[in-house]
């Protein structure tokens, strides 16, 4: 009887969890279309700004600007890591955190001191007991806003311009499709220069009033657009990962309930068989006495 009670309890708790998993999957399914559209629509603009910035700085001569100047003497490197506010998203958070740890380990091998900035409560919760988190942003990781990206850019850009960090890296999860997401490391600053093709005619640029002012105007737009695009891509990846994880969890719960129900039926049959055996044995004993 105790075994049957234990099995019934496990079946009830698994059914309760299955309902939670199914509800989370339905919520993620309702959000994924919007998150996917936002991520894919923002990517062309951000990549166009990035390509324009790389081409522009590669053709600017005799200009000493921090957008492409690498300060090798600066021992500090800023790392901005994007995670989720909530769990139940499969390996989404763990993959991003692992990639961030690998990047910071590589920086430390190079003699650099990583300065960690996080987006999403999961990364903050993980790193806070292990290393110093310079600043963290949280809330609505599955639906980031342009204002959030602007605030992050306003915090990270002055750090680089004032010499607080010689490099700025971004760790995020790129959304490829509904079943595939990839954690990537992007070096935001300084921008990697493109070597101009000597055989091709060099494009002509006219700056008003001068190249320094043009690059000064480009830099904050470049940083904010890239950060926002990465936040949107990570949000779509988070939602897709949660949908896939909750679907798998729901199917596993159903399979477990089926197995537990079979075990419960076997236990019930064994008990009935035992009771029948005891009744028959008692009847045979009474007959022998008579």
State the pLDDT at residue 201. 54
Query: What is residue 161's predicted lDDT score, i.e. its pLDDT?
Result: 86
Contact residues for 187 (Cβ-Cβ < 8 A; gap 6+): 167, 168, 169, 170
Q: What is the pLDDT of residue 148?
A: 92
Q: Characterise 139 by phi-psi region: left (phi > 0), alpha (psi -120 to 50), beta (else).
A: left
In the chain, the domains with their CATH numbers are 2-21+250-285 (no CATH), 34-196+204-245 (3.40.1380.10)
Work out the burial of residue 146: count CB atoms within 10 Å of its CB; fewer than 13 is exposed, 13-18 middle, 19 or more buried. Answer: middle
- 7-16: list long-range contacts, CB under 8 Å, 24+ apart: 7/260, 7/263, 7/264, 7/267, 8/264, 10/260, 11/257, 11/260, 11/261, 11/264, 14/253, 14/256, 14/257, 14/260, 15/253, 15/257
pLDDT at position 155 is: 93
Q: In what order do the strands lie in the sheet with 76-82?
A: 133-137, 113-119, 76-82, 167-175, 181-189
Position 1 scores a pLDDT of 47
What is the reported pLDDT for 36?
81
pLDDT tens track, the chain, 290 positions: 457 888 888 888 888 888 888 888 888 877 888 888 888 788 787 777 777 777 776 666 666 777 777 677 788 999 999 999 988 888 999 999 999 999 999 999 999 999 999 999 999 999 999 999 999 998 888 889 889 999 999 999 999 888 889 899 999 999 988 888 999 999 988 887 655 555 555 555 666 667 777 777 778 888 998 999 999 999 999 999 998 888 888 888 888 888 888 888 888 888 888 878 878 777 777 777 66
The pLDDT, as a whole number, for residue 265 is: 87
pTM confidence score: 0.80
């Amino acid at each position: 009887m105790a075994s049957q009670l234990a099995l019934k309890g496990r079946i009830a708790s698994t059914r309760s969890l299955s309902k939670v998993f199914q509800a989370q999957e339905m919520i993620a399914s309702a959000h994924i279309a919007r998150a996917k559209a936002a991520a894919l629509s923002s990517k062309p603009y951000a990549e166009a700004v990035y390509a324009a910035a790389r081409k522009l700085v590669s053709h600017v001569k005799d200009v000493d600007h921090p957008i492409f100047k690498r300060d090798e003497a600066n021992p500090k490197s800023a790392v901005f890591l994007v995670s989720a506010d909530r769990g139940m998203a499969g390996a989404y958070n763990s993959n991003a955190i692992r990639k961030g740890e690998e990047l910071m380990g590589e920086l430390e091998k190079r003699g650099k001191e990583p300065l960690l900035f996080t987006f999403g409560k999961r990364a903050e919760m993980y790193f806070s007991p292990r290393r110093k988190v310079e600043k963290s942003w949280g809330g609505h990781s599955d639906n980031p806003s342009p204002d959030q990206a602007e605030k992050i850019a306003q915090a990270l850009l002055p750090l680089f311009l004032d010499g607080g960090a010689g490099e700025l890296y971004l760790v995020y999860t790129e959304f490829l499709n509904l079943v595939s997401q990839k954690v990537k490391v992007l070096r935001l600053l300084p921008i990697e220069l493109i070597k101009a093709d000597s055989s091709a005619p060099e494009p002509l640029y006219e700056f008003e009033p001068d190249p320094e002012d043009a690059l000064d105007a480009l830099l904050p737009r470049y940083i904010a657009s890239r950060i926002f695009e990465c936040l949107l891509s990570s949000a779509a990846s988070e939602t897709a990962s949660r949908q896939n994880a909750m679907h798998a969890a729901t199917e596993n719960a159903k399979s477990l309930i089926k197995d537990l129900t079979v075990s419960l039926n076997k236990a019930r049959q064994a008990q009935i068989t035992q009771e029948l055996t005891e009744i028959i044995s008692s009847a045979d004993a009474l007959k022998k006495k008579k």
